Amino acid sequence: MPEWGALEDQDETPLGRAFRIVEILAAAPEAMTLTEIAAAAGLGVTTAHRQLASLTALGLVQKASGKTFVIGQRMHRLAGRLSQGRDVAVLAEPILCELAERFGETAFLARLDGSHVQLVETALPDVSGQAYAQPGRDMPLYAAASGKILLALQDEPFIARYLMLKRHAYTPATRTDEAAIRADIATARARHIAICDNEFDPGILSYATAIRDPQTGEPYAVAVFGLKERFGQVKPAAIETALINAGQKLSRVLRGA
């Protein structure tokens, strides 16, 4: 049971009591009953029940099995956004390392950050001369493979708003017209893979697949890239299969977490 300080030091406004319940559930190792929550928060059962009803309606708390409560999906999404994917990156690191060692190229995890992609974690193979991308780097949704696959996960209102933004041709191969971008979206949705061939960084070939964090619903891309003159010698089917398998493995790990 979570331990809290002297009750007289607690904020007894409705918002303070609600926040206290959220903190208690966030610290609890398992689901809690109404009676347990009320006791831990120093509240009457009726007051705790009223607060839980409001929190549940907002998606900050949700009912678990039986008559117990846990943190809601909305809180998980908020926590994921605040962490900027760092918690997911920790779990993804060994999977990215496996991809990097298998192909001798750089693998990375990226997240959707507004209207662009942000690298969260990178894994390098134990060889020299590989292309490298610094975590924190931003990439466009329409040109990078990771961006294309994340764009393909979005609904039509998001895509329509995004396509109203100005686009820049990074290389002569960059596809900037709406029809071409929509064609890439359709292909990515059908194959669960997106490819960037010399469209963002000159001479770079990249592949990406995407998953959603089961806890937060936030989308992430798992990608691998390298110099086209070298990485282009690998059979695309082998890369795509390995990426999809890596994405499925990460999904299982996140569900377990």
pLDDT tens figures, 138-151: 899 999 999 999 99
Residue 35 lies in a domain: yes
Are 140 and 198 found together in one domain? yes
Dist. CA 60–CA 83, nearest whole Å? 17
Is pLDDT larger for residue 157 or for residue 7? 157
Looking at the chain, list the stretches that DSSP marks H as alpha helix, in order from N- to C-terminal side: 14-27, 34-41, 45-57, 73-83, 86-103, 145-152, 156-162, 178-191, 228-231, 236-256
What is the residue range of 166's domain?
A: 83-256
CA atoms in the 13 A half-sphere facing the CB of 68:
12
Residue 13 lies in a domain: yes
Q: Which of 218, 238, 224 is nearest to 145 (CA)?
A: 224
Question: Which two three-digit tokens encode residue 90?
Answer: 């920790």
Q: Which of 113, 112, 149 is nearest to 225 (CA)?
A: 149
Q: Which of 194, 119, 122 is nearest to 153 (CA)?
A: 194
Are 155 and 54 found together in one domain? no
Q: Which of 16-20, 79-83, 217-221 has the highest mean pLDDT?
A: 217-221
Are 19 and 48 found together in one domain? yes
Checking if the pLDDT of 85 tops 70, the result is: no
How do residues 230-245 score in pLDDT, each as one tens digit? Answer: 999 999 999 999 999 9
Q: Which of 115, 126, 127, 122 is nearest to 206 (CA)?
A: 122
Number of domains in the chain: 2
Checking if the pLDDT of 136 tops 80, the result is: no
pLDDT for the residue numbered 132: 52
CATH number reported for the structural domain that contains residue 220 in this entry: 3.30.450.40
Are 52 and 115 found together in one domain? no
Are 87 and 67 found together in one domain? no
Q: Which residues pair with 113 in a beta bridge?
A: 116
**Taking a C-beta distance cutoff of 8 angstroms, is the pair 110, 223 a contact?**
yes
Residue 131 lies in a domain: yes
Checking if the pLDDT of 221 tops 90, the result is: yes
Checking if the pLDDT of 51 tops 80, the result is: yes
161-168: long-range pairs with CB below 8 Å, 24+ = 162/115, 165/115, 167/140, 167/142, 168/140
Are 128 and 216 found together in one domain? yes
Dist. CA 18–CA 65, nearest whole Å? 21
Are 122 and 199 found together in one domain? yes
Residue 160 lies in a domain: yes
Are 164 and 251 found together in one domain? yes
Q: What percent of the chain has pLDDT over 90?
A: 51
Residue 78 lies in a domain: no
CATH number reported for the structural domain that contains residue 25 in this entry: 1.10.10.10
Are 191 and 243 found together in one domain? yes
Residue 15 lies in a domain: yes
Last residue of a domain, one of 48, 71, 94: 71
Are 126 and 169 found together in one domain? yes
